[in-house]
Every structure is written in structure tokens, then in C-alpha cells.
A = this chain, B = another copy of it.
């Protein structure tokens, strides 16, 4: 088990996170009653706030939290929230953090518009604060996230993926935002390019480790802990690292059988057959090893900073993401 979980790590900067929450709430105010109603609904669903945590810890380690750190944290959280609202439309999701999703309560129309609204509020705030360096980073991230998802979708349809493309996809769709959080946090605290690059790389490596672990949990997690059945990626015909490895390193007849079931319609796919195939052929061990390599790389990125409780917290976070069970 990891030394500390996210709540324990967050505890270190409770006061800063409290201030963030107040400012985030203010940033969502609208004159349109429906918009206010939906944002209040979103605010009720307290997530883990991993992204603001990353921004603020990155500021702390790079020199200290400033007004710009809070603006950066609000920007990434607004972008992340916008993405979640759009994702639920994209996936026809019924729930989000055990609450009915926005699209389930207010329909797709309102969910798409709310996503656009949240993104524009984030960008406006960055423009108003003249945080042009943040804008440069964040607009590129929005591009990478949408392009990464589109690449994944096109690969999924063809049941065709390799390690190289897998890493490109998870770098774009997941690691880019975590990397942005760390870069924005660092930029808010320092103009030292070496420190900014170290934090950007830390976020990128952390994000890749995080996503590989996510993909592993789809094979070996505990359904009740995850709050969803295992094998979701298999049903969606998503080839993730454990499966890509196993398909390349297993006897031909086994591979043939797996490909056959995965080509079936969603309901007919034999999920357990695929899970057992991956486990038997070393897919989990391999992916776990790679995830831990990225986690180690992330920790190495922190080496240029002096030791501090914030550095320890970020280091523990890198351990946590590859050891978590949910």
C-alpha cells in the first residue's frame, strides 16, 4: 500500500484548497438562472480536486502560491469540468460520481452548451488576468485532449493498436492535462525555465503512470471499489497496454481466439476469456512494470528541487497513482 492517499496528501495544503474552493465557486456565477442551477449541482459533487492540488503543490515547490496559482488552478479545474460534462455526452453516461450526469438530468443539448460555457469562463478568466502564458499551454492541451480521444476512437473501431500509438493516445488524452497543471503551477511561482520544465515533465510522467494504472485496473480491479464492472475497455474494443502486450507475446491460437471474441458485438464479447488471457500471458506484470518506471521518472524530475514537505507530497503522489486500487 502507498504511504499516503490523495486525501492525506491534500491535507497538507488544506487552507490553500479551501481558498481555491471559494474562488472556484465565485468564478462560476452567472446571471442566467439555469446556468447557476447547473453549476450549483456540479459544485455539490465534490471530486478529489487532483488537478488544483497539483497546481498548488507545484507552485509551493517552485517558490510559493500566488494569486496566479489560484487563477491557474481555477483554469484547469474549469477545463477539466467542461471535459467531464462533454465526456458524459460522448459516452451517454447516466451517472458521474454517483450523481445523475448533467446530460441525464438536463439532456445532451444543455450538457454540450454547459461544457462550452465552462471552458469559455476559464479562458476569459485567463485573458482578464493577462495570464497569456497559461493560455498558450491550455489551448494546446485542449487540442491534445480532443485529438487524443479522436485518435483512440479511430483505433478502437479498427481493433488496431500498438504500443507506440497507445503511448501517444494516453500522453495526449490524460498526461497532457496533468502536465499542464504542474507547468501552470510552476509558472505561477517562478520564471526559471529549468524548474518549469521539471514540473511539466513530472506531470507528464505522472499522467502516463496514472493512465496505465487505470488501464490495469480494468483487468484486475475490484468491481465494488471501482464502482463499475471490470472489462469496460474490452467491451468498448479499446486495446490498452496489458492487452497490447499479451496479443504480441502469446501463442497464435490463443491470440486468434481473443481477436475473434473481441470482434463480436458488445454484448457477445467474452470479457473473462480476454481478462484471463492477459493475466496468463504476463500483460499485467508488464504494464505494472512500465507504470512504475514512469512513476520513478516522475520522482526523478523532482530531484532539482530542495527537500520539503511539498516535494515529499508530490513524490508520494507518484507512488500513489501506481499503487492505488480504485
Q: Which A residues form the contact surface with B (CB < 8 A)?
A: 30-35, 86, 89-91, 108-110, 112-117, 119-121, 123-124, 127-128, 130, 132, 135-136, 139-140, 142-143, 145-147, 149-151, 153-154
Contact = CB atoms under 8 A, between A and B. Distances in A.
A127 B135 contact: yes
Nearest to A133: B127
B139 A112 contact: no
Interface SS of A by simple majority: helix
Contacts of A114: 146, 150
A110 B153 contact: yes
Nearest to A82: B116
Contact of A116 (B91, B117, B142): B142
A153 B107 CA distance: 11
Given A123-B142, A127-B135, A143-B120, A150 B34 contact: yes
Given A89-B112, A132-B132, 5 more contacts: A30-B147, A32-B154, A35-B150, A113-B149, A113-B153
User: How many of these chains are in the complex?
Assistant: 2
Given A89-B108, A109-B153, A124-B140, A32 B147 contact: yes
A35 to B, nearest CB: 6
A113 B86 CA distance: 8
A91 B109 contact: yes
Contacts of A109: 90-91, 153
Contacts of A136: 127-128
